[in-house]
Amino acid sequence: MSIEKQVDPSRRGLLVATCAAGGVVGLGTAGTLVSTFQPSERAKAAGAPVEVDISTLQPGEMRTVEWRGKPVWILKRTPEMLASLPKLDGQVADPGSERNPDEFTPDYCINKHRSRKPEILVAVGICTHLGCSPSTKFVPGPQPSLPDDWAGGFLCPCHGSTFDIAGRVFKNKPAPDNLVVPRHMYLSDTKILIGKDEKGEA
């Protein structure tokens, strides 16, 4: 003979409510835990940092990668390129990269090379005038649209702004500022992370 245990209807409602509340708390906690492992909506919209291997980059060679829909140049400068920079201080508009450093140059790149390592330039390849992408003009000397004493650098084909081998804009040009140096850091001697540094993501 089976005996069926009856549950008081008023207690049944309490039991259901307790289970439901526990489930909601459990789901809320799980959601919080999962969200801590996800990038923020702002970071996802902006674009994740990009890791670049520069182990095969040769002196005088430049590689372009995409970060946040923008071209980022990584140039391995030759000793001759580096030697040209101090000679141009009087010709460029912002030789010490002092204008709007938060926007254009991280503090660790405010130096004569505009870089963390003298031989490696990391810069966004977009002219600060109207957003065109400058062309590489690394060969020194006279050539079309450039001065006879050209030391090598970049020429914007849209309105003629010129930049030296450190991305510093020359005086009296349409571009008002130096090329942007994005936040970045070295993961090793041959790997660069663009878009993030020791302070976090850009």
Does an H or E element contain 14, and which?
helix 9-36
- Report the percentage of the chain scoring pLDDT > 70: 77
Asked whether residue 38 is assigned to any structural domain, the reply reads: no
Asked whether residue 29 is assigned to any structural domain, the reply reads: no
Cβ-in-10-Å burial (0-12, 13-18, 19+) of 55 comes to exposed
d(CA 156, CA 134): 4
Asked whether residue 165 is assigned to any structural domain, the reply reads: yes
Q: What is the extent of the structural domain holding 95? A: 48-201
Asked whether residue 27 is assigned to any structural domain, the reply reads: no
Asked whether residue 73 is assigned to any structural domain, the reply reads: yes
Domain at 121, CATH number: 2.102.10.10
191-194 and 153-155 beta bridge pairing:
unpaired
Confidence category of residue 21, pLDDT binned at 50, 70, 90? very low
Asked whether residue 7 is assigned to any structural domain, the reply reads: no
d(CA 71, CA 182): 11
Asked whether residue 41 is assigned to any structural domain, the reply reads: no
In sequence order, the 6+-apart residues with CB closer than 8 A to the CB of 195 are: 47, 48, 49, 50, 67, 68, 182, 183, 184, 201, 202
What pTM was estimated for this model as a whole?
A: 0.76
Number of domains in the chain: 1
Q: What is the pLDDT of residues 147-175, one digit of tens each?
A: 999 999 999 999 999 999 999 999 999 99
